[in-house]
Structure 1
Amino acid sequence: MTEGPVRGETVEVSEESFAHLPCGIDLCHQTFGDPADEAVLLVMGLGGPMGWWPTGFCELLAERGFFVVRYDNRDTGRSTKLRHHRVSRSDVVKAFLGRESAPYGLDDLADDAVGLLDHLQIDDAHVVGISMGGMIAQTLAVEHAARVRSLTSMMSTTGARRVGRVDPRVIPMMLTPVGRTRPEYAENSVRNGKLTGSTAFPTDDEVARARALETYDRGWIASGVSRHMLAVLTQRDRTERLGAVHVPTTVIHGTRDLLVHPSGGRATARAIAGAELLEIAGLGHDLPAQLHETFADAIAATAARAR
């Protein structure tokens, strides 16, 4: 059992377990709350294990009456690693230029999420995705509409190359190895977080370091990050297909996001009829603790619109 929830109430927290998908992928996942409640599926972004959805945040959502599911995407955490698909730095550069394919795409990652819902016997869920996870969540809403009750897309984009661009200041960081050893990975992660994180809502260095060490210890591999990057860089433009999404949708984006320009969030909100756009001044590309209540409120309000 993890540390108790923020408000002092008891939230049931499962042990980590595995869903064995028909495609051969094993997804590690964990749940919070009562399985009888409406499900919230949390989809993390590029290179991020499920722990990047902080335990306290998951408990906060469970306290609002949701059955919360977080999981490791393939190639992260304790889920299946596809090491046999080797990716070089030149492959990533070619993908930046639109000249490369990927071992798997966002459709495959969305299919993984559906497989996890099947495993948990969840018919549909309020789907919340951040960054690449937002792209996966959007793909779910497009390709598996019956499984999505509401959509919250955070710090993400439509796949159109004219919006959501990466700030040139972070491209060298994306192409530089984070480090081979545990200490190197932790220190570089803290430094990179200062570049891409929220200026108005800073994260304490020790909190960031502890998260980085947990990420490394649970199975971080550089090649997995590269395969995720190829999936993002080779994605199709979803703008037209997002026009067919009719579930309640909220788009959350920060004005200080250097990894996905705010134009990506605005384009997502424009593409989906009735979508609400929440832009937060000073928010970067992270989930600062100072805004957990704000994020939870937005997710709950979006879910309420689905009722």
Structure 2
Amino acid sequence: MRATANGIEICYEVFGEPGGRPVVLIMGLGAQMIGWPEELIGPLVESGHRVVRFDNRDVGLSTHFTPADGQAPAPSYTLDDMADDTAGLMDVLGWESAHVVGASMGGMIAQALAIRHPARVRTLTSIMSTPGPRVGQATEAAMTVLTAPAPQDRDEALARAVETARVIGSPGYEMDVERVTRVAAESYDRAFDPAGTARQFIAIRRSGDRTEGLRGLSAPALVIHGEDDPLITLEGGTATADAIPGAKLLTFPGMGHDLPRPLCPVIAEAIAELTGRG
């Protein structure tokens, strides 16, 4: 499905019965909505939630800010603009407020949404994220794979996805090569735009630190982080939890910068417990 929100087109998908507790899932840097594991969405739906996932601007089937030939560079934006995209999608869905869950850059967007529009956020779940670009900085190996030159074709894109997963994924869990490859193939076929990912990365860098804004939040919050995350190290999660009053910090040994299938039911249960309180 498509919606016009905050002046752009957003591609989204909804799961669960009308009337369920509304949950918004926000994906991370360069990742499309299909990156959310079915093993996480399924338990959320089964526990009574109405779940929406969507493509952020500049990825997937949502609006891309590609400059036209001979025109000025693509307009710059920040995570605040992406948070407003999310609020606009909620307007289209008729949701005055929702439980907001973000992973990686999506966690940053979720934080920005809670700061900018506190009445719209019933609960906040920030997964493998950070309150600012200087906290939880990536290891050298993770940064190297993140900033590698863009793949030139489909085969290279699939191989790069597997390589990246090996570097930043969860060392305590066996990597699901079949799933990584499948999601990479579907993502490439939907929309391959490395420049869009680069613009999102610039948005992160331009957005500054959210620590002081997080200190003013009153919504119940859950912070989830892998203890072996090389892309946003554990410091990012602890700093997020320390900044939000009353936030619960849940960490997992062996979890890196991904959502391992065996942990998805546990994470879904923790989110459901939070939304029950919110």
TM range (shorter): over 0.9
- TM-score where L is the length of structure 1: 0.86
Alignment equivalent of 2:29, drawn from 33, 43, 46: 46
Superimposed CA distance per residue, residues 201-241 of structure 1 (whole angstroms, 9 cap, x where no aligned partner): 22221111111101111112100110111111222111111
| Residue of structure 2 in register with 1:116 after alignment | 89
How many Å separate the matches in 1 of 2:186 and 2:121?
Answer: 30
Q: How far does residue 67 in structure 1 lie from its aligned partner after superposition?
A: 0.2
Superimposed CA distance per residue, residues 225-275 of structure 1 (whole angstroms, 9 cap, x where no aligned partner): 101111112221111110111111010000111110110100010001100
Runs of 4+ in 1 over 4 A off after TM superposition: none
Q: Which amino acid aligns with 2:12?
A: H
- TM-score where L is the length of structure 2: 0.95
Distance of aligned partners of 1:160 and 1:77 in 2 relative to their CA distance in 1, 3 Å threshold: closer
| Residue of structure 2 in register with 1:4 after alignment | none
Helix, strand or coil at the partner of 1:215: helix
| Residue of structure 2 in register with 1:287 after alignment | 259
How many Å separate the matches in 1 of 2:122 and 2:197?
Answer: 29
Show the 5 A alignment for 1:33-112: 33-84=16-67, 103-112=76-85
How many Å separate the matches in 1 of 2:126 and 2:112?
Answer: 11
Q: Is the contact made by 1:178 and 1:189 (CA closer than 8 Å) also made in structure 2?
A: no
| Residue of structure 1 in register with 2:72 after alignment | none
| Residue of structure 2 in register with 1:176 after alignment | 148
| Residue of structure 2 in register with 1:300 after alignment | 272
How many Å separate the matches in 1 of 2:10 and 2:268?
Answer: 25
Superimposed CA distance per residue, residues 166-219 of structure 1 (whole angstroms, 9 cap, x where no aligned partner): 111222212212412111100111011000000112222111111110111111
How many Å separate the matches in 1 of 2:52 and 2:163?
Answer: 30
Helix, strand or coil at the partner of 1:103: coil
- 169-178 vs 270-279, greater mean Cα deviation: 169-178
- 199-208 vs 235-244, greater mean Cα deviation: 199-208
Unaligned runs of 5+ residues in structure 1 are 1-16, 87-101
Q: How far does residue 85 in structure 1 lie from its aligned partner after superposition?
A: 8.4
Helix, strand or coil at the partner of 2:230: coil
1:136 aligns with 2:120: no
| Residue of structure 1 in register with 2:247 after alignment | 275
Helix, strand or coil at the partner of 2:17: coil
How many Å separate the matches in 2 of 1:148 and 1:45?
Answer: 19
| Residue of structure 1 in register with 2:120 after alignment | 147
Unaligned runs of 5+ residues in structure 2 are 70-74
| Residue of structure 2 in register with 1:32 after alignment | 15
How many Å separate the matches in 2 of 1:182 and 1:218?
Answer: 12
Q: How far does residue 37 in structure 1 lie from its aligned partner after superposition?
A: 1.1
Helix, strand or coil at the partner of 1:152: strand
Helix, strand or coil at the partner of 1:278: strand
1:222 aligns with 2:194: yes
Q: Which amino acid aligns with 2:170?
A: S
1:236 aligns with 2:205: no
Q: Which has the higher contact order (CA 8 A, sep 6+)?
A: 2
How many Å separate the matches in 2 of 1:248 and 1:83?
Answer: 38
Show the 5 A alignment for 1:227-266: 227-266=199-238
Q: Is the contact made by 1:85 and 1:103 (CA closer than 8 Å) also made in structure 2?
A: no
Q: Is the contact made by 1:160 and 1:239 (CA closer than 8 Å) also made in structure 2?
A: no
| Residue of structure 2 in register with 1:18 after alignment | 2
Distance of aligned partners of 1:210 and 1:160 in 2 relative to their CA distance in 1, 3 Å threshold: closer
Q: Is the contact made by 2:133 and 2:205 (CA closer than 8 Å) also made in structure 1?
A: no
Superimposed CA distance per residue, residues 56-81 of structure 1 (whole angstroms, 9 cap, x where no aligned partner): 42122111100000000011111111
How many Å separate the matches in 2 of 1:20 and 1:129?
Answer: 21
How many Å separate the matches in 2 of 1:255 and 1:38?
Answer: 30
Q: Which amino acid aligns with 1:123?
A: E
How many Å separate the matches in 2 of 1:41 and 1:85?
Answer: 32
Q: Which amino acid aligns with 2:104?
A: S
Distance of aligned partners of 1:75 and 1:85 in 2 relative to their CA distance in 1, 3 Å threshold: farther
Q: How far does residue 84 in structure 1 lie from its aligned partner after superposition?
A: 1.1
